[in-house]
């Protein structure tokens, strides 16, 4: 089970969502993806996409204007 990190800091719509989906497609079952970004709307839209795809959000953190979302591809 790998942990995959994606950095989309400074990227805007739709890149954070797209990079998240690309990573989830490539990941194996059980892998954890950590995505870090600054685009405000993506902080709530990535969890929407994860839910629609049937995967699991492990945590959402925020530090200043940077958010970090951990997802498990179950």
Active site amino acids: 13
Binding residue for another protein, selected from 32, 53, 60, 72, defined by CB under 8 A:
53
Binding mask 1-40 for another protein (x = CB under 8 A): ---------xxxxxx-xx-xxx--x---------------
Select from 1, 26, 7 the least CA-distant residue to 68. Answer: 7
Alpha carbon separation from 26 to 33, 35, 62, 73 (Å, rounded): 11, 14, 26, 10
Residues forming contacts to another protein in the complex (CB under 8 A) are 10-15, 17-18, 20-22, 25, 48-49, 52-54
């Amino acid at each position: 089970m790998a942990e995959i990190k994606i950095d989309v800091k400074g990227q805007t719509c739709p890149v954070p969502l797209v990079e998240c989906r690309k990573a989830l497609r490539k990941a194996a079952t059980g892998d954890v993806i950590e995505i870090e970004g600054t685009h405000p709307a993506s902080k709530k839209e990535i969890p929407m996409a994860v839910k629609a795809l049937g995967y699991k959000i492990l945590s959402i953190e925020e530090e200043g204007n940077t958010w970090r979302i951990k997802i498990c591809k179950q």
